[in-house]
Amino acid sequence: MKIGLVQLNPIIGDFYYNCTKIELWSIKAKEAGCDLVIFPELVVSGYPPQDLLERKSFLTEHDSAVESLLKDLPDLDVMFGCFEKRKGEKGKKLYNSAVVARKGEIIFRARKQLLPSYDVFDETRYFQAGEKTEFYTIEDMTFAVTVCEDVWSHDVEIYDVDPVEDLFQTVIRKKNPVDAIINISASPFQREKEATRKAIFEKICRRYSSPFLYCNQVGGQDSLIFDGRSMVLDTAGEIVALAHGFQEDLIVVDTSTWKGDTHGAIEVSPFQQVYDGLVMGVRDYVQKCGFSSVVLGLSGGIDSALTAVIAVDALGADNVLGVALPSQYSSDDSLEDAKQLAENLGCSFKTVPITPLFGGFQESLAPLFDGLDDDLTEQNLQARIRGNLLMALSNKFGHLLLTTGNKSEMAVGYCTLYGDMSGGLAVISDVPKQLVYELSGYVNRDGERIPVRTISKAPTAELKPDQKDQDDLPPYELLDQILELHLEQGEGEKEIIARGYEKAVVHDVLRRVRLNEYKRKQAPMGLKVTSKAFGYGRRFPNVQNYRG
């Protein structure tokens, strides 16, 4: 028989849109000769629906959508993810389920057993863990069906249950062989995660001598990026079918040979993956929020340049406005580089000098600041003037304002509240500075899009004469190493110093991270590409006195 795997890009809460897509892709799978088509986790509602699950109207409309969908599906088995109401007074009121529709009825269901509650996940807030399920059968084939996290028990040590092992213990007892394992997922992207996924899937295939079918969600949802990359592996753990990354796709596998479609490259550059994810994340966030165009400040620096390229690739050059906002401290080189970038990309470019406005602020504040030296106050004033002007353009022309700060700056507070942090989406706020350089090199792989001088010159905010980032910060290479150890690997000051890093530098970096939590809580939403991003997956108090 033939099985189709469809990775969809749903919109949370748009039941008609999502169900229409399920129906249309099911028809395509039927036309391709499939007897079974598989869709991702919670595809009817979109993932993650979060506290919408606490609204009775949301639950009611979801169930109505499922009822209508069952009537409209073509004549083949359709497996999809949805939530189901649970009976019983104690416990959560919902299950996260994989169901199979056949001839207008649900003939099989498997309920998610492992409910993640770490990082960006909070499923125990809404769902009750399912019990062990029976096997799904179609024609003469038997499948073990799991939902996303159910196959991650080997990698995530917090679980004392292994749903896959439990299923195969049942196989041993009943002497009823399983032909393959199916896993429907909404598994977010992050750097190097695919290697982890592949290792888990391969281990399962070899341990149980079973093919493995993995169907993942695709698309951007708030800060999360879902890469798709749905795949089928044979009993040896080798990929025999693979979908594209970061776009909707259908792949078909023939179970008589366990061979199928390979649309995506098995080995993909990590820079390409991150870049493609950011492009998709921007496109989906902007368009799903009802915008069609964006505006951003172009300083002539590498961060705003990379953000502009991502925006152009996501939305088209006609939908991107770049604005230079020079002050008396801006160099001619910076303005030239900003203009050259816009010309290279083909996007609109405007210049709005801020020197007169800055002078007006200084004049108004002079009586209050009399006798006081210039300091960060005057630097922040310039950033806030720029933020106000960019927001005015956003309001007037209906553009979404993109901020351009990177993760290294966000971590240590090298950014200005209500200034360069103003905006609707922080595109590269989870991209460390060194990765910004690497992605810029990737962008220029076939020719100069980002001006070479923008990449080669020393980073500077240009908020005072002869300013350089490294006047106030450690070299970015060193800073990023310390930040990765602290933010992503969870190491404290003593542990990092024990690795050989200078005590004073580590102390200062971690002090800045701690003191600037309040800034990050007020920052625009950013796109997650590392294992630990700032945002709702990071839950630290603003007010605390722990120094470890």
pLDDT at 452 over 70: yes
- Sheet of 36-38, strands arranged across: 105-111, 94-102, 77-85, 36-38, 2-7, 249-254, 259-260
Active-site choice (19, 148, 205, 347): 148
Give the pLDDT score at 67: 97
Across residues 20-24, what is the average pLDDT? Answer: 98
Residue in the block written with tokens 């962008």: 443
Q: Report in angstroms the alpha-carbon separations of 503 from 220, 481, 506, 507, 513.
A: 40, 14, 5, 6, 15
Enumerate residues 6+ apart whose C-beta is below 8 A from 183.
Answer: 145, 146, 147, 148, 150, 151, 212, 213, 214, 215
Across residues 400-422, what is the average pLDDT? Answer: 97
DSSP three-state, residue 320 = strand
Active-site choice (19, 21, 34, 41): 41
Give the pLDDT score at 175: 64
Across residues 511-532, what is the average pLDDT? Answer: 96
SS3 content of the chain, % helix, strand, coil (to 5): 40, 20, 40
Give the pLDDT score at 172: 66
Across residues 175-190, what is the average pLDDT? Answer: 92
Q: CB of 109 within 8 A of CB of 66? A: no
Among the ranges given (216-225, 261-270, 294-303), the one the predictor scored with the smallest mean pLDDT: 261-270
Give the pLDDT score at 498: 97
Give the pLDDT score at 409: 96
Across residues 521-536, what is the average pLDDT? Answer: 95
Q: CB of 259 within 8 A of CB of 253? A: yes
DSSP three-state, residue 86 = coil
pLDDT at 289 over 70: yes
Pairing of the two strands 231-233 and 348-351: unpaired
| Token pair for 265 | 């490259």
Average pLDDT of the chain to the nearest whole number: 95
H or E, element range at 345: helix 332-345
Across residues 395-405, what is the average pLDDT? Answer: 98
Active-site choice (112, 433, 519, 532): 112
User: What distance separates the 2 farthest-apart alpha carbons in the chain?
Assistant: 88
Q: Give the separation between CA 16 and CA 326, rounded to whole angstroms.
A: 47
Q: What dihedral angle (degrees, nearest 10) is formed by the CA atoms of 180, 184, 188, 194?
A: 10
Among the ranges given (104-113, 217-226, 281-290, 537-546), the one the predictor scored with the smallest mean pLDDT: 537-546
Q: Give the separation between CA 545 and CA 542, rounded to whole angstroms.
A: 10
- Residue 512's nearest CA partner among 481, 465, 476, 479 is 479
Domains assigned to the chain: 2-262 (3.60.110.10), 274-464 (3.40.50.620)
pLDDT tens-digit series, residues 302-357 = 999 999 999 999 999 999 999 999 999 999 999 999 999 999 999 999 999 999 99
Amino acid at 240: V
Enumerate residues 6+ apart whose C-beta is below 8 A from 486.
Answer: 492, 496, 509, 510, 513
**Is 41 among the residues known to form the active site?**
yes
Strands of 228-265 (E only): list them: 231-233, 239-242, 249-254, 259-260
pLDDT at 173 over 70: no
Q: CB of 379 within 8 A of CB of 464? A: yes
DSSP three-state, residue 235 = coil
Amino acid at 415: C
Amino acid at 93: K
Q: CB of 413 within 8 A of CB of 509? A: no
Give the pLDDT score at 548: 76
| Token pair for 48 | 């993650």
pLDDT at 157 over 80: no
Which residues make beta-bridge pairs with 254?
A: 2, 259
Which residues make beta-bridge pairs with 146?
A: 183
**Is 148 among the residues known to form the active site?**
yes
Q: Give the separation between CA 14 and CA 124, rounded to whole angstroms.
A: 24
- Sheet of 136-138, strands arranged across: 136-138, 141-147, 180-185, 212-216, 231-233, 239-242
Across residues 461-480, what is the average pLDDT? Answer: 85
